[in-house]
Each structure stands twice: as C-alpha cells, then as structure tokens.
Amino acid sequence: MRIIIAGAGEVGTHLTKLLSRENMDISLMDEFPERLGDLAANYDIITKVGNPTSIHDLRDIGVKGADLFISVTPHETENMTACIIAKQLGARRTLARIDNYEYLLPENRAFFEDMGLHHLIYPEVLAAHEIVESLKNSWLRYHISLCDNALELCVVKIRENADIIGHKFMSGYFADGRYRIVAIKRGTETIIPRGTDEVELGDMIYAICTKDNMEFLREQTGKVKREIQNIIFFGGTRMAQKAVQNLPHELNIKILEADRDLCTRLSEKVDNALIIHADGSDMQALQEEGIQDADAFVAVTDSSEANIFACLAAKRFGVHKTIADVENIDYISMAEGLDIGTVLNKKTITASYIYQMLLNASVLNVRNLTSADAEIVEFMALEGSRVTRGRVRDINLPYDATIGAIVRADEGILVNGETEILPGDRVVVLCKNDSLRLMEKYFKN
C-alpha cells in the first residue's frame, strides 16, 4: 500500500512513525525542510520538501495511483484543496484534517465525496468526545464503549484498598466471569497477564466487562463513585469548546481563559458555561474561582507542561477527577507517573481513526491506548478463519495479544480458554502495537 502524508506537524509526524513499522510505502511532504528533519534517516519512509497544493509537487512525489493521500497540515483550506487536487491527479482515496464541525454532518458527506474528499477528520472533536466519556465515569482513568455498547473497556489505577491486589491469575480469583483483565500497565511496561502474573499496587489495569458489571468492577478495585457537578476547564481551546457543548446543561461549568479576546468569542459560542478571564495556572485565581469545590478539572491549553502542572495543583486542592491534554508524546509516561489523572493526546486518537482505514476488512474498529503500548481492536470472525477452528486455548495466539470478549447476537460474552469463536462473532482483542498485523491473519478466511 502506498500512502502520501502532507504536513509534518504533530499529527502527520506521529502518523508517519506509526505507519512506518508496517510494510507500506510511506512518503511525507512538507513546505519546511526543518520539519522533516532526520525522519527519513530514522524511519523507513521517503521525505520531500514541497507544497501540498502544488500540482507539480504532488506529481513529483507520485500522487498518481497512491492508495491514500492524507493532508494534515494545520490549515483546513490547504488540506481540503490538496485532497481535491490529489484526487484529480489520480489518488484513490483522500483524507483531510479539518476544523469546521459543519463539514462532518452526515448530510454533507456526499457533497464532499463528489469533490474528491473521501474522509474528513477533526482531531479536537475526537478528543472532546474522550473528555465527555471520561467525565461520565469519574472513577475510571479511561473508558471506551466497544461493539455498539455491548462491552466496555475500563482503565483503572489500583490503590491500596483494591481487593484484587496480590492475586495470581492462575488462582482462579479472576474467574468470576464478570470482568476480564486484558492488560496491565506497570511503570513503562505493558503486560499481557498470564497465570503467574498478579495485580500490584500502582498498576493501571485494562478490564473488559458488560455495562451491568461495571459496578462490580468498581467495588473490586476499591473506587468510590462520585457524581460530577462542578467542572472547571483550563483553556478555551476548540477542544474545550466542543467538550463543553456536548456536556449536559445542568452541570456547573467554568472556562478559565487568559486571552481576553478569546473569552469574548467563547461567550458567543458556548451558552452552558461561565467564561472567566483568568489564568488557570495561577493558584490564587484557581482559589478565587472555587477550585476547592470542583468535582473535575480539565486542562486543555496548548501547553502540555501547563496542563500537567495545573492538574497537579488541582489534585492538591482535592479535586477528584482531573484530565490533561498532553500533546508532547514524550511527556505521557511522565504524566502517568505523576498520577495526574486521565491523560489525553489528540495525535494518538486521530492516528487510531486513520490507521483503521489501512487494515484488513475484518477489522471493525481499532483504538490506540494513549497510556499503554497497545491497541484494542474489534474483529469480525469470518467463515473458515483460523480463529474459528477450535477453543481459544488451542489457537496459539501471538504472545503479545489476547482475546478479551466476543459479541454474539448482540450479547457481550467474556472469553476464557474453553470458549469457541463462531463465524459472525465480533471479537475484541488487545494486542501490543507490533502484534496487530499478526492478529489480522487469524481473522482472514
């Protein structure tokens, strides 16, 4: 598969690194040579200095016949124009990064496809959705609904009062059939648990269950359920705007923004939040705006450092739920180690959505897990595929992958070694990043 990516900014560079480990022909172009740096030397890709809206430059990089042309520069108009030109020059499919929500409305899809824009993606909207989901279940670090809500992936930080600490998986303690731990993040290591493994204090566990068993999982992990009513957002970014617009209007929401002009614009766009001209990194300002009474604090400025430290401050004031947008990928592990709460990264979220387009047709959904070196994938079990030829224990899965659950006739069912997967089942797999391509082979007929 031949892919051309225009824009060597944060999203484009991260996506290039993600795809470079696959057996694909990747080319990355940007107008500014300093952005391309040493990428070609460090990764198996081709880099080219060029303008993505230049017909000459697009022809020169070989856009004709490209399987996918992706334009993710910071400029919406440039991305859309580049995709339209690329399609006319012979690219098979195109994807543009945008920042206008109206373009994503279903009634506009055919209009853009006729123009040569097959896929549109708005990273801030994707990240805003993650914020809203995280606030719904405040005891979770992270939460993903799977298979049309038939199953839930719950990520929980383990504290001293968790009942599950110290029990080996081979002991049978986790064989209640009500949840299944598919991965453990311990320090910087992601572990697919085996029989001799056990949950330790400070671990981050990744558990799959049905919605009606989430309460049991909460009790097992010693978490307290708290309702979120008072929320403070630090930063009036587009991510904050979209998140607030999708939160219930009965919540008490404040947005702290240091830019006075942006405050004025926010007041015109957001009608369910109090817009306050204040610096959310100022401790006195936080206290004046009632940080001590907040149930949740969401830091989504353009500075990863400011977001991390603001969440640390919020924790010291006793805020139960904190969420930080950490766009510097090198900071994610540090942020997790500082125990600042939920960490979001819109680059990895966006990359997951784009990555799915490049996978086998049996892959229904794939989500990159920001805090773990792993992905959660939904496969369709096809007639005659390897995964349907016996019990799970006999399939010989890759060492860095595990099957967590299946959905059969709209019912979520946890998997154990005796489970037999049938054609038509939707299968939830957790695998380390390097194992996804191996897992695809198990679902081909």
Q: What is the pLDDT of residue 360?
A: 64
Domain final residue, candidates 319, 340, 363: 319
Q: What is the pLDDT of residue 188?
A: 82
Q: Report yes or no: 338 and 399 within 8 Å, Cβ to Cβ.
A: no
Q: Is there a single domain that holds both residue 360 and residue 392?
A: yes
Residue 65 belongs to a domain: yes
Residue 37 belongs to a domain: yes
CATH of the domain at 288: 3.40.50.720
Q: How many CA atoms lie within 13 A of 237 on its CB side?
A: 20
Residue 337 belongs to a domain: no
Q: What is the pLDDT of residue 327?
A: 87
Domain count for the chain, please give it.
Answer: 4
pTM of the model: 0.87
- 260 vs 99, 236, 266, 278, CA distance in Å? 22, 11, 10, 9
Q: What is the mean pLDDT of each run of 10 residues along the chain (445 residues)?
A: 91 83 86 88 91 97 95 95 97 95 92 94 92 91 91 94 94 92 91 93 95 96 92 96 94 96 94 94 93 96 94 94 90 83 87 74 77 86 92 90 94 94 95 80 85
Its domain, for residue 380, covers 352-441
Q: What is the pLDDT of residue 361?
A: 59
Q: Is there a single domain that holds both residue 250 and residue 211?
A: no
CATH of the domain at 179: 3.30.70.1450
Residue 131 belongs to a domain: no
Residue 67, burial from CB neighbour count under 10 angstroms (0-12, 13-18, 19+): middle
